[in-house]
Chains A and B, each alone.
Chain A
Amino acid sequence: DSGVTQTPKHLITATGQRVTLRCSPRSGDLSVYWYQQSLDQGLQFLIQYYNGEERAKGNILERFSAQQFPDLHSELNLSSLELGDSALYFCASSVGNGGGQETQYFGPGTRLLVL
């Protein structure tokens, strides 16, 4: 158990819908990262927040957005869902600002299925 929690574990929804994924980092960690992992692809970095501020952005679609709240939990919002958005979404956390040398600890993931 990494100490990172994600809810829900599974989510089934329809195309065009909007969902929110939630992540709580390890106690004391200030950075939260979001990744998408599809069956045929590796982990794709989406976005990172550090202490409430956006720190780095990857290939995140405009239909996706995220935020980190004062209590450091984070939410990833996915809207206008498409079939291709079906994937495992992982959240990870690290202690500092993610300056490249920090180990990231991953949550168990949310499996999203868009029908």
Chain B
Amino acid sequence: KAGVTQTPRYLIKTRGQQVTLSCSPISGHRSVSWYQQTPGQGLQFLFEYFSETQRNKGNFPGRFSGRQFSNSRSEMNVSTLELGDSALYLCASSRQLMTGEGSGNTIYFGEGSWLTVV
């Protein structure tokens, strides 16, 4: 079955602009979470959505936002881009809320969206 799909794969933006990234989870998965990965900070949790509601949020400024649609697809938006926002943005999906217990809650990642802010 198809994996987690993220678009676009690569993009370059200018400081001050905004960007929207898209994620389609694995069919049947209702939870989508977003992560930022940089060489210096490693993998950092942004937020998690389940049933169109934000369930958990990481320690990022309000410029970072997201939403989830009724078909579980998700988008994240970064406004007023800064140079430090350059990173690999990863989307992950799982069948249940990621805080849930049980071995069936494996998390699958997409290929990521490489964002470069110049």
Partners in one complex: no
